[in-house]
Amino acid sequence: MSRAQTGDREAFDRLATAVYDRLFAVARRILGDDYDAEEAVQESLIHGWRDFRSLRDPARFDAWMYRVLINCCRDQGRRRNRMRVEVPDLAVERSDPANQYARVVDADELERGFLELPLEHRVVLVVTHYLGMSAPEAAQVLGIPTGTVYSRLHYAMRAMRAALSRAAEEPVNATPEVSR
């Protein structure tokens, strides 16, 4: 670690290689796209190499890299002007078009609620719900206290419930308007 801080590229390369898969997994979940995730991870590693000498506590390298990655994910999202929405294939019975419409609306409402969350809350939801980590595991991976994970989960879930509640109160047009 100290060799990397003095500018040893090989030492930093070993650190980056050790954390790369975890960085990519987090970026992929946050950005929803392999290409965008790859860009964010590469950018975070460049920033990491450039700014590594300023890291005061080398033992917190992983947590520091996650913060750098999160900032790079924000930048990548801004560059794209919007995040891509991936809607999983829905197993819908063809005989009930209303059921198909309701499922698409539900998936869209979930995605919109998720995208309204602050990035820190999205990260915690991704790590715990999509990756299946416990709160203590997530805390270790993210380099934050376990209590912070629980707090962010609480506020994220509350915000998701509020977003879904708002969506349920809004009238939904049965037929989409077509602009001419």
Q: 6: exposed, middle or buried (C-beta count within 10 Å: 0-12, 13-18, 19+)?
A: exposed
> Which residues contact residue 179 at a Cβ distance below 8 angstroms, ignoring those fewer than 6 apart?
none
Q: Which residue has the higher pLDDT, 119 or 179?
A: 119
Question: What are the structural domain ranges in the chain?
Answer: 2-80, 97-169
Instruction: In whole angstroms, give the CA distance from residue 68 to residue 56.
Output: 15
What is the SS3 string spanning 75-100?
HHHHHHCCCCCCCCCCCCCCCCHHHH
Q: Which tokens sit at 149?
A: 């994970």
Instruction: In whole angstroms, give the CA distance from residue 49 to residue 161.
Output: 40
Q: Which tokens sit at 103?
A: 């499922």
Q: What is the tens place of the pLDDT at every residue in 25-81?
A: 888 888 877 888 899 999 998 888 888 777 777 777 777 888 888 888 878 877 765
Instruction: In whole angstroms, give the CA distance from residue 64 to residue 67.
Output: 5
Whether the CB-CB separation of 110 and 156 falls below 8 Å is answered with no
- CATH topology of 2-80 equal to that of 97-169? no
The CATH number for 97-169, chosen from 1.10.10.10, 3.20.20.10, 1.20.1440.230, 3.40.50.12280, is 1.10.10.10
Q: Which residue has the higher pLDDT, 84 or 168?
A: 168
Q: What is the tens place of the pLDDT at every residue in 127-149?
A: 788 767 789 988 877 778 999 99
Q: Which of 111, 117, 104 is nearest to 86 (CA)?
A: 111
User: Does position 152 have pLDDT exceeding 90, yes or no?
Assistant: yes
> In the chain, how many H helices and how many E strands?
8, 0
CATH number belonging to domain 2-80: 1.10.1740.10
pTM of the model: 0.54
Rank 24-28, 82-86, 152-156 by mean pLDDT and report only the highest.
Answer: 152-156
DSSP calls for 30-62: HH--HHHHHHHHHHHHHHHHHHGGG-S-GGGHH
> Which residues contact residue 21 at a Cβ distance below 8 angstroms, ignoring those fewer than 6 apart?
none
